[in-house]
Amino acid sequence: MKRRIAAMVLAVSMMGTLGACGEPAGRTAGPALSQSSSETQTDSEKVRGTLKVSTSGESGKPVFTVETNMPDETEFVLTLQSEDYTQQQTVVVAGGSGRSEAFTSGGGPLFSGKYTLTVAMSQPSQQPEGVRAVLGDNGENLIGNFMKVESTSGAHILSGDFKFTFDGPEAPAADPAPEPEPAQPDEPRESDPEPEPEPEPEAKPETKPSGTTKPSTTAPTKPSSGGGGGSGGGNGNANNFDTWNVESQQDTQDSWVLNTSSLKIHYPSCSQVPKIAPKNYATSNKTESELLNDGYTTCGVCHK
């Protein structure tokens, strides 16, 4: 009986040992499967970007729909261009697509012609946080044919060009360039006019005191040979008082005889009157005071 009990205890002990050895083995296999799953998730972080564009809307007023696999809230800039037209809009992805407003020309339809639509994702650093979490802060998770690398920032963005032709009104003809004006011939330069000769100054008449009369026109007599130092020929020196002896100069009815050269006042009977040069002879009926005010002085011979 004791032997049977010992055998049973030994069997139970061996079963416990086997159970303890199997449990760590099971736990060791778990981490190995988890590691394999982590490696598969790393490979799937890269995003191969896709772009597709379709149009709708009124004739000549296209509305563009961008279909893409980018995350919701991803922003794209749409630029429509032709030779003489450029317009931009921003669309935000929601549910795999983004839709623009109608592109117009001043509110009217676009002119007929070929257009290029550029669809470019905004810089990853400017995208919402949820978009950066998928694409990376610099877009480094983007791959595929539409992935472009910015030359300045080095960021990875999604970008593509799409060609469209629209039927609309014809563009107005450009104004013709103005024809250049014909060159004007050089006008002949006029030679400087010769200066006109200055007119010779007019001889100013000898100033006579107001109130005087013209000198006598009686021809003078030949001066006496005893004149004080005068020339002996002709009429002598006209400015020399002693070379003249014109007695007729005393024959006047005026009150005074004047010498306009020496500015002397004489009585007509004065012995000095005939000696006055005819060109300096004048008569006057002014008062003596008036003549003195005019600058004359009395003769020292007849006014002693």
Could you tell me if 161 and 269 lie in one domain? no
131 burial type by CB count under 10 A (0-12 exposed, 13-18 middle, 19+ buried): buried
Residue 76 lies in a domain: yes
Residue 109 lies in a domain: yes
Q: Among 128, 144, 166, where does a domain finish? A: 166
Q: Is a pLDDT exceeding 80 seen at residue 64?
A: yes
pLDDT of res. 222: 45
Residue 3 lies in a domain: no
pLDDT of res. 218: 47
Partners of 118 in beta bridges: 79, 161
Query: Which of 65, 149, 159 has its CA nearest to residue 103?
Result: 65
Average pLDDT over residues 295-299: 93
pLDDT of res. 296: 93
- The per-residue pLDDT for range 192-238, each reduced to its tens digit, is 666 666 666 665 555 555 555 555 444 444 444 443 333 333 344 44
86 vs 79: CA distance, rounded Å? 7
pLDDT of res. 120: 95
Q: Is a pLDDT exceeding 90 seen at residue 122?
A: yes
Residue 8 lies in a domain: no
Could you tell me if 216 and 277 lie in one domain? yes
pLDDT of res. 6: 55
What is the amino acid identity at position 222?
K
Reported for 214-220, long-range contacts at CB under 8 A and 24+ positions apart, including other chains, are: 214/282, 215/249, 215/278, 215/279, 215/280, 215/281, 215/282, 215/283, 216/246, 216/248, 216/249, 216/251, 216/252, 216/278, 216/281, 218/246, 218/248, 218/249, 218/251, 220/244, 220/245, 220/246, 220/278
What is the amino acid identity at position 1?
M
Could you tell me if 140 and 237 lie in one domain? no
What are the Cα distances from residue 29, in Å, to 23, 177, 229, 239? 10, 85, 165, 157
CATH number at residue 140: 2.60.40.1940
Q: Whose structure tokens read 């011939």? A: 185
Q: Is a pLDDT exceeding 90 seen at residue 92?
A: yes
At 132, the pLDDT band (50, 70, 90 cuts) reads very high
Q: Is a pLDDT exceeding 60 seen at residue 33?
A: no
pLDDT of res. 5: 52
Structural domain span for residue 224: 212-298
Residue 124 lies in a domain: yes
Residue 41 lies in a domain: no
Task: Give the count of domains, the chain.
Answer: 2
Could you tell me if 267 and 160 lie in one domain? no
Q: Give the DSSP letter of residue 94.
A: B
Query: Which of 215, 53, 48 has its CA nearest to residue 145?
Result: 48
pLDDT of res. 170: 86
138, 154 contact by CB (below 8 A): yes
Residue 155 lies in a domain: yes
Q: Is a pLDDT exceeding 50 seen at residue 49?
A: yes
pLDDT of res. 238: 44
Q: Among 107, 137, 166, where does a domain finish? A: 166
pLDDT of res. 153: 87
Average pLDDT over residues 109-129: 94
Residue 6 lies in a domain: no
Structure tokens that stand for 162 in this block:
């799409």
Q: Among 132, 166, 200, where does a domain finish? A: 166
